[in-house]
């Protein structure tokens, strides 16, 4: 399973992924710059932060989640838990 998030203006070092229980939070900080000739409101911070939360199902293997940031797009790989593989069990005894 994959989760893709467009995060324009956010570098890999300005992105954060936090996992607590079943809640996955993706956040990013971006430097805000107005086009030339525009004026910002007073007291507006030059850096802006945004975030989004997701609830993961129990079928996701939380220990093996990976993330890749490329060209402003974050791609999370959310592998599923491996189901128990059926097998034969040998009986030992005298």
Our CA dihedral for 57, 79, 62, 14, rounded to 10 degrees, sits at: -110
Determine the pLDDT at residue 94. 65
Check residue 17 and give left, alpha or beta (phi > 0: left; psi -120 to 50: alpha). Answer: beta
The class level of CATH for 2-33+44-77 reads mainly beta
Indicate yes or no: pTM above 0.75.
Answer: no
For 1-94, list the strands marked E by DSSP.
2-6, 15-20, 23-31, 47-55, 66-70, 73-77
Residues of the chain with pLDDT under 50: none
For residues 69 and 91, give the distance between their C-alpha atoms in angstroms, rounded to a whole number. 51
Determine the pLDDT at residue 76. 95
* Residue ranges per structural domain of the chain: 2-33+44-77
């Amino acid at each position: 399973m994959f989760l893709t998030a467009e995060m324009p203006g956010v570098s890999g070092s300005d992105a954060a992924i936090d996992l607590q229980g079943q809640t996955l939070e993706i956040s990013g900080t971006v430097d805000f710059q107005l086009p030339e000739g525009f004026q910002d409101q007073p007291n507006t911070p030059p850096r802006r932060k945004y975030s989004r939360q997701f609830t993961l199902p129990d079928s996701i293997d939380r220990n093996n989640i990976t993330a890749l940031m490329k060209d402003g797009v974050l791609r999370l790989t959310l592998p599923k838990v491996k189901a128990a593989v059926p097998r034969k069990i040998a009986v030992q005894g005298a």
